[in-house]
Amino acid sequence: MPQRLFSKSCTLVIAAGLLIQLTAFGIARSREDGNRLQRKIDDIVANGSARTPKSKITPLSESEVNSYLAFNVRDNIPRGLAQPEISMVGNGTLTGRVLVDMDEFKRGRDTQDFLDPLNYISGQVPVTARGVLRAEGGKGRFQLASAELMGVSLPRQLVQELVGYFSRTPENPRGFDLDAPFDLPAKIRRIEIKQGEALVAQ
């Protein structure tokens, strides 16, 4: 259960549902890097489950995170999303890219407004975004700066709709709220986003 919670929280932190995904291309990925991150996650969860967790900092590289997404959890990525990638810019900033199946998204929408431009987009399209992750004192919050669909700027309301739809769970049917803080799992106290890596402090 702690590892499942960690994986869900990682998904939110990594993607804020879907939208912390790369604007730079060509990031190296390998199964070895993905497995290395899995071992780090296992160690973080085990330490967080201890009666008295050790004070430690675990570095997670950009390559490890993208390899983990490509190989280790590829089958667990929400239906309708593909090829998520992340870039760790530094100073808390994340940018990213993901392919979104607009037909899958539209099937679950409540609105059928014929003036809504999203109703006229079909197939897989790239969504990119940029934002800042602040994670201190056991709490995290993602501050969205910008998002684009096929190079066209997306209003925050539509970004929230996309994030909410693809991050839905039975426990949280409305999905992730971009404006809401969230608890960090496994007794993580802080996550620092540096250039090319994240430092996870317990």
Encode 172-181: b = buried (16+ Cβ within 10 Å), e = exposed.
eeebbebeee
pLDDT 10s digits, 30-86: 999 999 999 999 999 999 999 999 999 999 999 999 999 999 999 999 999 999 999
Q: Structural domain tally of the chain?
A: 1
Domain limits for position 47: 2-201
Q: Which of 1, 74, 88 is nearest to 31 (CA)?
A: 74
Report the percentage of the chain scoring pLDDT > 70. 84
DSSP string, 54-79: ---EEEEEHHHHHHIIIIISGGGSPT
Give the tens place of pLDDT for each residue, 71-107: 999 999 999 999 999 999 999 999 999 999 999 998 8
The DSSP 8-state label assigned to residue 158 in this structure reads H
How far is 121 from 144, CA to CA, in rounded Å? 23
Would you say 143 and 129 are in contact if contact means Cβ atoms under 8 Å apart? Answer: no
Q: What's the rounded Cα separation, in Å, for the pair 118 and 114? A: 9
Give pLDDT, residue 78.
94
Alpha-carbon distance of 55 to 184, in angstroms, equals 15
pLDDT of 156-172, one tens digit each?
999 999 999 999 999 99
Residue 103: both structure tokens together: 């037909």
Distance in angstroms (rounded) separating the CA atoms of residues 2 and 73: 16
Q: Give pTM, 2 decimals.
A: 0.84
Q: Decide if pLDDT at 23 tops 70.
A: no
**CA 200 → CA 59, 135, 138, 187, distances in Å?**
6, 10, 11, 10
Distance, CA of 39 to CA of 42 (rounded, Å):
5
Q: What is the mean pLDDT of the chain?
A: 87
Q: How confident is the model at residue 27 (pLDDT cuts 50, 70, 90)?
A: low
User: Nearest CA to 131 among 70, 65, 87?
Assistant: 87
